């Protein structure tokens, strides 16, 4: 796995896809060739430069959002996966591990983190083969709640007010 990683989603088809779909930077990483089955048939379709509306539709149909970049400072695509209701599997480093795919205050999980190729394979197997639909949906629901409370416009405005504006006002009042 390269430092750059793979950013995409895995779905079971739907309005825009009649087969599992992966999209994002996969083609630039040479995964098109690796994604073929031994008989040369595709197990997934790769989509690049997907129009935003189609991307939203695909994300809404995704079962899993896969993000493999190591040490990414934030990871907006991880947030997009969570907001869309896909179970996120992200690299266990930097922003995704420290700020995004973290438990809610009540302890509910918001996704899965993996540290290497083997761990990604285990997490994918867990998410797609072992985890019940109800358990996957519970994590997705918690993830959507986390996005709403941590990364919405309202949350941003509240944090700016609390962390920047309030201290500046206190300092000004103190000086007056």
Domain ranges in the chain? 7-146
Residue 24 is predicted with a pLDDT of 45
> What does the pLDDT average to over 140-148?
96
Res. 145 pLDDT band, cuts 50 70 90: very high
**pLDDT at position 53 over 60:** yes
Phi-psi region of 71 (alpha: psi -120 to 50; beta: other; left: phi over 0): left
pLDDT tens figures, 37-46: 556 554 566 7
42-56, 100-114, 124-138, 151-165: range with highest mean pLDDT: 100-114
This prediction's pTM: 0.74
CATH 3.40.50.12780 fits 7-146, yes or no: no
């Amino acid at each position: 796995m390269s430092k750059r990683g793979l950013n995409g989603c895995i779905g079971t088809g739907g309005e825009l896809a009649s087969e599992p779909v992966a999209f994002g930077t996969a083609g630039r990483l040479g995964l098109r060739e690796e994604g073929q089955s031994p008989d040369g048939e595709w197990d997934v379709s790769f989509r690049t430069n997907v129009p935003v509306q189609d991307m939203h539709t695909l994300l809404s149909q995704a079962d899993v959002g896969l993000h493999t970049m190591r040490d990414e400072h934030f990871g907006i695509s991880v947030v997009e996966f969570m907001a869309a209701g896909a179970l996120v599997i992200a690299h266990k480093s930097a922003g995704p591990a420290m700020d995004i795919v973290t438990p809610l205050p009540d302890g509910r999980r918001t996704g899965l983190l993996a540290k290497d190729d083997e761990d990604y394979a285990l997490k994918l197997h867990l998410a797609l083969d072992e985890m019940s639909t109800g358990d996957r949906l519970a994590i997705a629901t918690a993830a959507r709640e986390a996005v709403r409370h941590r990364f919405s416009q309202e949350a941003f405005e509240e944090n700016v007010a609390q962390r920047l504006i309030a201290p500046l006002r206190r300092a000004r009042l103190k000086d007056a």
